[in-house]
Structure 1
Amino acid sequence: MKSIAHVAPATVDIHATPKARSRNVSLDRARTFLTLVVLLHHAVIPYTYFGHTDPTSWIGFDCVVLATDSFFMAMFFFLSGLFVWPGLGHKPWLIFLRDRLLRLGLPFAICAVTVIPLAYYAIALRATPGLTFSEFWWKTVTVGPWPSGPVWFVWVLMCFDVTASLLYRVSSKLLDPINRLSLKGFERPSKFWLFLVVASAIVYIPMLVYYGQNYWFEFGPFSVQASRVLLYAAYFFIGAGIGVANFEDGLLSAHGRLTERRWFWTTITLIPYALMWVMIYIKREIIGNPDPLPSWYLAIYGAFFVLFSASILFAILAYFLQSKSPGPTLLDRMQGDAYGIFLVHYPIVLWLQYWLFDFELPAIAKAAIAFFATVVLSWAVTAALRKIPGAKHVL
């Protein structure tokens, strides 16, 4: 069941923008959209070849999972980094760290001992019907394994934030080269795309070849996918470099060339995506799913992975940056609850899948029920929690 547990999580903590800056509606909508994509990702995993923990499956969901797993965690870290450097410039260092602990550390600690055991109990109960929750919870926190599910993202993001705060104290100009490249990206986004691809390949492909696709660094509830940890760090700090610039003058300007060529980036995205499927076919049908996979296979697959991740990042950002909808859209209405939806959705989706397991329904029907019910219930739970005094400072 680990493939379900550790697949990319969902919401990013970039709500705490400096008060001196106005909100960027396009980026708000992009991150809320990604939150919904994460809920969809977790809703369909049991009905795929990858997860297939339900009697039914549909190949279309394999297409969804391959796409989402190959980009959205990197994109969440990228979006998270955008406002870190300006935030460090507007807040005293200790205040910044206090806010990160409140916004990230506290939710992670609470979720690790409540939300996540409740989610995994649904999986354990399927294997051991007579198991009580108290027995499962005690074994989880004392003996293990103690998976973190999708909230691993929260503690890793906190580590990146702390690292950024230390680097900022060394020099506030450390990310200026990325800043200048972002400004050039107003007219030539392809240059920044190439930089993102090269940087991603340098930090990701060697880690993938060495650790493989499935190895995780784990210590209690603290876990992160070994091959991707440096990739996530690269996206985070590249995002932070862009955030040094005025958005209206750089790569993420609503009036730049990125938005003018959104269909180009969408087309470019399809090429490495198709090539990843070619590599999956080679793995399954030609070389017979060896374990471990050959280094040459991992290197080639990793190259297509970073190309896809960078391209779809540009395609999604181009779409939302050029969007002229005045709002409020559904994404706008959900924006304030997006972080909470991410934190609470996992036990909801797993228990819905547990309940649907014995129903003789097509995979599409089960996934649709799981997805829409998860959205509604997670949103309702978050709205209720945010009414608790002080909760809005965390959620």
Structure 2
Amino acid sequence: MTMDGLRQAASENEAAPPAAAPPQRARLLYIDNLRIALTALVVLHHTAVTYGNIPAWYYTEPAKDGSGLLLDVFVMFNQAFFMGFFFMIAGYFTPPSYDRKGGRLFYRDRLKRLGIPLLVFILLIRPMVNFVGFEQFRDRLPYWLYYFVSWDAGPMWFVEVLLVLAGVYVLIRRRDDRRAGGKADGSAFAAEADHQAAYGPRRAPDHKPLRPGAIIAFTVALALATYLWRMLVPTGTYFPVVGLPTPNFLPQYASFFVIGVLAFRRGWPQTLSRTAGRVGFTVTAVATLAYLPVLLTSPDAVDGHGTWQSLANAAWESTFAVGMVIGLTVFFRERLNRQGRAAGFLSRHAFAVYLIHPPVLVALGFAFRWLHAPAAAKFALVAALALPLCWAVGYVVRSLPRADRVL
């Protein structure tokens, strides 16, 4: 090419507009805000357990007055849906993360972003909170032996289950890819630990409205599955080593994760109408009123064992969970689909709060054990301090070198 030709080509290149950058995908701010709310519910849930009548926490002060019953009711309503909602959000972000990273990279990323916090909790945080139960064994065995005998993952059981579900999702996708004659490219799963997965999909989902009949059918199937499951795994069953505190809810956790995957592929959150949100909240109220006579006359309805009361409990839990998920999804999408600096801060540090809230709550419990007050009053006091303190500690933890790459 001549010198004149080179100058002409350079001139054309300078004049040509740059290649259009891929459009920035809108962040799903209402899901970020949902995660903030659910994380706050985790902190409040364990604070209520601390001062209620359910001794299922590292530090507890069993209630000595009737207000402890109110805390137990809060725990029951919360337990009916909030962890299932976490699993559904995780499932929703599974397909885009899988598509973007591929199976091997995806699962390696899951092991880093979920496995490292799990190890941090077990090896560093758990010894700081597990000593309370050691008092009754102090004369019989050393702490190191008690530590291993009482092994569990605490609240990080959620992460353990997510890792299992991630592995199952990878295997299913690879099998489907092989059947389709394509390249098995991997997996994607835990949205809570994947900040980037909060952006829109690589390819747009097929928007298929969620029909009322399908919602009803799923709710009935979940209720029956829960009822049958609790014949084998009644409420109060504890899986040692794994440390899963609520294995009686596994049908809900697994099915909500699957529904989350389908919700992404079919664009269900975007197709839910405002009327569907109102109906969701209304159904939860009606189901609760219908279930109250059973609960008040048969407190053991929550236990399982195949009784008709257990079937009523499973029906209420399933209906309540589905209604709350639909209602809250629409409410946050319509009313809370924006973020300022404060909400952005809360969102960035939500997973860190989930990780570090146990020592914060135990420390506050010890700090106020001298205070003689009604259970509900101590709950309100500690909760008001715990929420901002958890986010402050979460900020400090994420400020450690490279911590933000995991949390």
Q: TM-score, normalised by structure 2?
A: 0.78
Deviation at 1:302, TM superposition (A): 0.9
Pair 1:26 & 2:30 matched: yes
Matches within 5 A, 1:366-377: 366-377=378-389
- Find the aligned partners of 1:354 and 1:124 in 2 and give their Cα distance: 15
Q: Distance in 1 between matches of 2:301 and 2:286?
A: 23
Which residue, 287, 291, 307 being the options, matches 1:272? 287
Could you tell me which amino acid in structure 1 is paired with residue 127 of structure 2? P
Structure 2 CA distance for aligned equivalents of residues 318 and 390 of structure 1:
36
Q: Return the match for 2:82 from 72, 82, 89.
A: 72
* Deviation of the 1:54 alpha carbon: 4.0
User: Structure 1, unaligned stretches of length 5 or more?
Assistant: 1-18
For the residue of structure 1 that corresponds to 2:298, the secondary structure is helix
- Alignment of 1:387 with 2:399, yes or no, is yes
Q: 1:317 offset after TM fit, Å? A: 0.8
Query: Does the Cα contact within 8 Å between 2:83 and 2:253 map onto a contact in 1?
Result: yes
CA displacement at 1:85 relative to structure 2: 1.2
Alignment partner of 1:243 out of 247, 264, 271: 264
Alignment partners' CA distance in 2, 1:232 and 1:291: 18
Give the CA RMSD over aligned residues.
2.9
Matched residue type, 2:339: G
| Residue identity matched to 2:99 | G
Which of 137, 160, 166 pairs up with 1:155?
160
Residue from 27, 37, 43 that aligns with 1:39: 43
1:290 Cα deviation (Å)?
11
What is the DSSP-based 3-state SS (H/G/I as helix, E as strand, rest coil) of the residue aligned with 1:357? coil
2:134–2:146: 8 Å Cα contact kept in structure 1? no
CA contact (8 A) 2:234 2:248 kept: yes
State the aligned residue count: 354
**Alpha-carbon distance between aligned partners in 2 of 1:388 and 1:197, rounded to the nearest angstrom:** 44
In the TM superposition, what are the counterparts of 1:54-69 in structure 2 within 5 Å?
A: 54-56=63-65, 58=67, 59-69=69-79
Q: Classify the secondary structure of the residue corresponding to 1:223.
A: coil
**Alignment identity in percent?**
23
Aligned counterparts of 1:302 and 1:324: Cα–Cα separation in 2:
31
Matching residue's letter, 1:36:
A
Letter in 2 for 1:390: R
- Contact kept, 8 Å, 1:201 with 1:302, in 2: the verdict is yes
Instruction: Assess if the C-alpha contact under 8 Å between 2:152 and 2:242 holds in 1.
Output: yes
Offset at 1:65? 1.1
Matched, 1:139 2:145: yes
Q: What one-letter code is carried by the residue in structure 2 that aligns with 1:243?
A: F
Closer, same or farther: CA 351–55 of 1 in aligned 2, 3 Å: farther
Distance 1:292 1:161 in 2: 29
How far 1:263 sits from its partner (Å)? 2.5
Task: Return the alpha-carbon distance in structure 2 between the equivalents of residues 331 and 262 of structure 1.
Answer: 23
Alpha-carbon distance in structure 2 between the residues aligned to 1:87 and 1:325: 22
Deviation at 1:259, TM superposition (A): 2.7
Aligned match for 2:171, one of 166, 169, 172: 166
CA spacing shift, 1:24–1:47, aligned 2, 3 Å: same
Give CA-to-partner distance per residue, 1:297-337, whole Å, 9 cap, x none. 22221111111111111111111011156431744330000
Question: Deviation at 1:117?
Answer: 3.0
Structure 1 residue 294 displacement after superposition? 5.2
Q: CA deviation at 1:364?
A: 2.8
Q: Corresponding residue for 1:341?
A: 353
| Residue pairs, 1:305-344, within 5 angstroms | 305-323=317-335, 326-328=338-340, 330-344=342-356
Rg bigger for which structure?
A: 2
Matched with 2:237 is 215
Distance 1:301 1:289 in 2: 6
245, 260, 273: which one aligns with 1:258 = 273
- For 1:56 and 1:358, how far apart are their aligned partners in 2? 17
* SS of the residue 2:244 aligns to: strand
Q: Please give the alpha-carbon distance, in whole angstroms, between the structure 1 residues aligned to 2:301 and 2:262.
A: 40
Question: Which residue of the partner structure matches residue 220 of structure 2?
Answer: 198
Secondary structure, in 3 states, of the residue corresponding to 1:361?
A: coil
2:170 aligned partner, one-letter code = S
Deviations 1:194-252 (A, max 9, x none): 2431342243221112221111222x24435332223211110110111123xxxx321
* Distance of aligned partners of 1:274 and 1:355 in 2 relative to their CA distance in 1, 3 Å threshold: farther
Code of the residue aligned with 2:156 in structure 1: it is V
Which segment is superposed worse, 381-390 or 54-63?
Answer: 54-63
State whether residues 47 and 56 of structure 1, in contact with CA within 8 Å, keep that contact through their aligned partners in structure 2: no
Does residue 298 of structure 2 align to residue 283 of structure 1? yes
Deviations 1:144-183 (A, max 9, x none): 1223221100111111011111111112699xxxx87x71
Shift of 1:31: 1.2
